[in-house]
Chain A
């Protein structure tokens, strides 16, 4: 059974930083791209960032480019999202998401429960 378990969320002041973690199990982690998607209160799903299977390719939404950094360690089945220079608009549930096709950057097939990031003074 595929499982994605996020951690690292919390309350942070504007301008602050956090590092979100996601541990994957139940699949061959090093064969799949991994992504982060967020859901802000009262809003829809927003793709945030993706890293390919071998960590050589990283991709970011314009809204987070230069502020967020995605990384992974396949030996630990873990993907991270370093979020910095946070604004109130970054308040959201951040979910770790698995790519649906090995070795490809396509749709997403499994989602974690998410880590809540609240930006407030």
Chain B
């Protein structure tokens, strides 16, 4: 099974900060990676797929990169609406989520 490891687990940041979340796969997954945002009481929202393709309607301050085993999600200028938990997910072989990264207000 492919394991996904996100870092950090928690990230404290301020509005306007540039933040980056890293996701590592236990084996190569090509670009079969998606990112989701989840807020308490709300359903998860797809942000990115194929590692770097922005889902329709997602603000351009979100960007994704990487391939193989190492991936990043970057928010170029953190907005109040962005404080949430972010998950990566591989879909190369079955499906596996990372453990999540909580982005909190500093």
Seen from chain A, the residues whose Cβ lies within 8 Å of a Cβ on chain B are 35, 44-47, 50, 59, 61-62, 95, 100, 105-109, 111-114
Contacts and interface: CB of A to CB of B under 8 A. Distances in A.
A47 B34 contact: no
Given A100-B49, A109-B46, A50 B95 contact: yes
A61 to B, nearest CB: 8
B96 interface: yes
B95 A44 contact: no
A110 to B, nearest CB: 8
Interface stretch (B19-27, B74-82, B86-94): B86-94
Contacts of B32: 106
Interface of B: 1, 32, 34, 36, 38, 43-44, 46, 49, 55, 85, 87, 89, 91, 94-100
13 contacts: A35-B95, A44-B97, A44-B98, A45-B89, A45-B97, A47-B89, A62-B1, A95-B43, A100-B49, A106-B34, A107-B34, A107-B46, A113-B43
Contact of A47 (B43, B46, B96, B99): B96
A48 to B, nearest CB: 9
Given A44-B97, A47-B97, A59-B94, A108 B43 contact: no
B73 to A, nearest CB: 14
Contacts of B46: 100, 107-109
Nearest to B89: A107
A115 B100 CA distance: 21
A107 B91 contact: yes
Given A62-B1, A107-B49, A45 B44 contact: yes
Given A95-B43, A107-B89, A114-B43, 6 more contacts: A44-B99, A44-B100, A50-B95, A107-B91, A111-B43, A111-B44
A45 B94 contact: no
A105 B46 CA distance: 15
Nearest to B44: A111
Nearest to B56: A109
Contact of B34 (A61, A95, A108, A114): A108
